Amino acid sequence: MKYYSLNHKSPKVSFKSAVVNGLAPDRGLYFPESITPIASDFIKNIANYSNEEIAYEAIKQFVGDEIPTEVLKNIIDETLTFDFPIVNVEENIGALELFHGPTMAFKDVGARFMARCLAYFNKNNEDKVTVLVATSGDTGGAVASGFLGVKGVEVVILYPSGKVSDIQEKQLTTLGQNIKALEVDGVFDDCQEMVKTAFLDTEISKTLTSANSINIARWLPQMFYFFFAYKQLHKKHKDIVFSVPSGNFGNICAGIMAQKLGLPVKHFVASTNINDTVPNFLATEKYDPKPSKATISNAMDVGNPSNFIRIQELFGNNTEKLKQAFASYSFTDEATKKAMKEIYKTSGYVTDPHGAVGYLGLKKYNLADTDFGVFLETAHPVKFLDIVEETLPVTVEIPEQIKSVIDKVKVATKVSNYTELKAFLNS
């Protein structure tokens, strides 16, 4: 499999090169040159296969022969060590829980898969690779956990000061070893722009790659749990609508890729907070990114979502075709809290703010009687403890994954601009 840059000004590269480099030299995101649907019999009989077998079938064409079959299967086995249950909250709506991994966020899947791919590619390399990643909340913790102790890999995580939850901050600033955290005076978009700038700076002496969803090894494995959801729901004989809380749009992009592989999905809803660049694009057909605004669903505080260009590519850059299978709506913090209360009142289910935004997306989409709606519960409510406990009459139990970091001491270096980041990387 070869990958091309979506800016179309760089040569095609292998899976390995795309993973190791993260971003193309022309600053474009990499995209696979072909997509071959999975055999229809496999989809039809999906209940007969394990999650590991499903994941292998979904990812194998994108890896090709660059990782041996048994090694790739072992990477998948080590990635998928937790469950992905759907919990019904209404008769025709379920929450797909993606928070049962080590950092209690959906990004554990992509981070663990990418870390193991990079470890394989780097196993005979004496030079270290530096993974440079920006986070609006959950990415940092997942990457820190996934790459902790990986030989030959150093990790530098940029996060916006004061704009991640206390628990999210602890998860990315307390692990030590090969993990370094940089607290940025700015918003997520500033962090993301600094990362992209560093990739193209020839004066940086280190080999850099990204573990954001701009990296194909972070983005593509997120397909897996859309297949796992279908495996749980296909016997309902309903049309499935996925509502995905969306910030950088990598997760919903992976879901659309699963659909292109043959997964039966009626519609995708990209549910956002007031950072509404994509909903506005669908309304006006003008892409006008703005600086991100802080909300209670901070992992979606992205004003210029990187992966939307991949979504457009998946639909042949045809906006009318995109609109036939894809919608996007934005919601305020007030509406988010109201939804959290409504879900709890009717079902007793506790959502985090991001899941509540996903639920609102299904409500606005207006499901038909023949539909079953799935909203992605992308993080455990404990990661947004203050918001959840001030909104709902509950006390959230602290899981073991969080207890292990909550009392540790934060270690972070403050940076204000790209010059300071560059000096840190070169030091």
Backbone angles phi and psi of 75, in degrees to 5: -60, -45
What are 270's strand-pairing partners?
Answer: 244, 328
C-alpha to C-alpha distance for 244 and 226, rounded to whole angstroms: 11
Which listed residue (44, 107, 196, 293) is catalytic? 107
Q: Is 107 a catalytic residue?
A: yes
DSSP run (H or E) holding 272: strand 267-272
**Cross-strand pairs, 379:** 105
What letter would DSSP give residue 284?
H
Q: Is 54 exposed, middle or buried (0-12, 13-18, 19+ CB in 10 A)?
A: buried
Instruction: Write down the H helix ranges in 200-300.
Output: 216-219, 224-233, 250-260, 277-284
Per-residue burial over 171-192, b if 16 or more Cβ lie within 10 Å, else e, is bbbbbeebbbbbbbebbbbbbb
* Secondary-structure percent of the chain, ordered helix, strand, coil, rounded to 5: 45, 15, 35
155 forms bridges with which residues in the sheet?
131, 179
Our CA angle for 230, 335, 108, nearest 5°, is 40
Catalytically active residues, by annotation? 107
